[in-house]
Structure 1
């Protein structure tokens, strides 16, 4: 389902928004630093970043679809594993969901599906760190 963004104008072109998303997600740049370099506010950068994340997660395939695609291609063996990507501790109400009791650390949980050679076939969207791998796999 695609939803049109109803905005009469944008201060940043789509290419710049993509670059901002890469800087924030890949290189963990602070939003205020990115905002200052692009002549917009930090809240504008945050809104654009959340739009990009929502767009990417909407386009990501579901686990059952990925498994069906692998089966159609003749794949026999797949390995699924969860990994916790460590993040900085957040304050306030957003803190507890990202704390993993198993790892005793804050982070986001990702599930990865690989073939027998270790080639990545599918990766899930980020889930809170407190989620377990089996529950996340059932919900995907």
Structure 2
């Protein structure tokens, strides 16, 4: 009998699905959440207590309601500072040459984000 995870929608492979389930479990255990873009839709199937919050998508047959549009706007406002921080890190090309253990990388990224925020606010 195989211990494989149920198939995910789209092109997500088994290893990626296992990694996502692992991340979801850690977020739930730490009582944390994440704001994500529409690419993460369907990753968190717990409707009553979602850990990953994504926006709403309009289709030809389903137009967004005023509330759904407002929810998307609020989500975008919350995600913007983080996206800008990663954009700065990419522009500096810091992450391409990072060859260190994850604990040091986390401290380095935190320090870089602090410096970025100081520079932006200056």
Q: Give your verdict on TM over 0.5.
A: no
**TM-score between the two structures when normalised by the length of structure 1:** 0.24
Where relative contact order (Cα < 8 A, 6+ residues apart) is larger, the structure is: 1
The answer to which structure has the higher strand fraction is 1
